[in-house]
Amino acid sequence: MPATSVARSSSFQTLLKKLVTVRQHELAATVGVDIGSSGIKIVALGRGKGSGQRPVIGMERVPVSAKPDESAASLRAAVEKLHLPTKTIALSVSGPSVIMRVVEMPTLRPEDLKRALPFEAQRYLPFPVQDVILDGELLGSVDPKKAWVLVVACKKDLIAQRLDLARRAGLEVSFIDVDALAVANAFLEVGTAQRKTPTSAVINIGSQLTSVVIFKSTTPYLVRDIPWGAERLVKELSQQLGQDAAKVRQLLETAQPDDALRASLKEASESLLVELQLSFDYFENQLGHPPEEVFLTGGLSACQPFVDGMRQQLTQNLVVWEPSPGVTGPFSVAFGLALRTA
């Protein structure tokens, strides 16, 4: 298994297609498994016919446990329930063990860039480069002497944990990707028809993390994770409203929140909006203008009071994005993984 790889692609659909490839072969169906902090989401897609969208042949969501054997049993039971013609799955990683940076580097030949990547990456890693799986991709030219490069690194122990979970579940792994890139690739493959401008941000809000990818055309010039998610929102709302978490979740399901909930939502979302604005400002400083529209997916994209609050506070047009009919925001990562073949 190589520690580093660098390649140029003509479009983002092939960018960092797999952080780690374990096995490659033709599959009758592809299965994406998103292991989050609040549950395991699974999406299985059949083979596409012609240029049409690939059919969804199964979806499941099961609990996740701190005990690997329990999570493996849940995963195995869910895959068996779908009666799939394969036991090969695609997985993804996210969190503090994953680092993503778009950096300026000297314009180099691919083989030279591959050798230079570990030295460049070490400047941005909070852990030794020998402890990570490292990948990189040329995005485009800054000027004749410099280029934009997307650098992605993941600690080897997190990769090992994902592979061990699959092994315990009796499953094989075709590749391991990054949550943000899985969503981004899904958006470019099935979501671009909704775009009205070439500069767009895709925001995926999970239980603990928010992934942000900002595109100029089909190239991502900013990719990052923000340590903010639905669990933090519920916790802060509980403190402000004096309600327990179950009651807060019930309030968030209402279509017409009262003034107290609206005010609390605005305050509880402020830290996320600050981080998003910093990302938009950075992108503008690097590329000349901020994103002109925002596509929101993930678990909180189904929470109407939250979406309404975001619309009021963002200057960009906000669109709730679901990757496919019947596939809601919480399944965006799993859907993005299932779209790919190793």
Which domains, from first to last, does the chain contain? 14-94+157-184+333-338 (3.30.420.40), 98-155 (3.30.1490.300), 192-322 (3.30.420.40)
How confident is the model at residue 37, as a pLDDT?
A: 87
C-alpha dihedral sign at 151, 294, 298, 189: negative
Least confident of 16-30, 225-239, 262-276, 303-317: 16-30
Count of residues in the chain: 342
> At 190, is the secondary structure helix, strand, or coil?
helix
Tens of pLDDT, residue by residue over 19-64, are: 544 444 445 789 999 999 889 999 999 987 666 678 899 999 998 8
Using the predicted structure, report yes or no on whether residue 16 has a pLDDT greater than 60.
no
Mean pLDDT of all residues belonging to the chain: 88
**Beta strand extents in the chain (DSSP E only):** 6-7, 20-21, 29-35, 40-46, 56-62, 88-93, 98-106, 132-143, 146-155, 172-178, 199-205, 210-216, 219-226, 293-298, 317-320
pLDDT at 3 over 90: no
- Tokens found for residue 277: 């604005």
The answer to whether 56 and 324 are in contact (CB under 8 A) is yes
Tens digit of pLDDT for each residue in 111-158? 888 899 999 888 888 999 999 999 888 888 888 899 999 999 999 999
Question: What would the pLDDT profile of 275-311 be if each residue is shown by its tens digit?
Answer: 999 999 999 998 889 999 999 999 999 999 999 999 9
Helix H or strand E encompassing 165: helix 156-168
With a cut of 90, say whether residue 69 has pLDDT above it. Answer: yes
Q: For residue 243, what pLDDT band results from cuts at 50, 70 and 90?
A: very high
DSSP string, 55-82: PEEEEEEE---SSHHHHHHHHHHHHHHT
pLDDT at residue 341, as a whole number: 64
Q: How far is CA 191 from the centre of its chain?
A: 15
Report the candidate in 136, 200, 161, 154 with the shortest Cα–Cα distance to residue 72. 161
Of 102-116, 213-227, 291-305, where does mean pLDDT reach its minimum?
102-116
Contact between 18 and 175 under an 8 Å Cβ cutoff? The reply is yes
Considering only residues 11 and 124, tell me which one the structure prediction assigns the higher pLDDT.
Answer: 124
Cα 209–Cα 210–Cα 216 angle in degrees, nearest 5: 145
Q: Cβ–Cβ contacts within 10 Å for residue 143, how many?
A: 8
Does 318 score more than 90 pLDDT?
yes
Given the structure tokens 């030949």, which residue do they identify? 109
Tokens 């800054």 correspond to what residue? 142
pLDDT at residue 14 tops 60: no
Query: Please, which residues bridge with residue 136 across strands?
Result: 6, 151
Q: Is the pTM of this model over 0.85?
A: yes
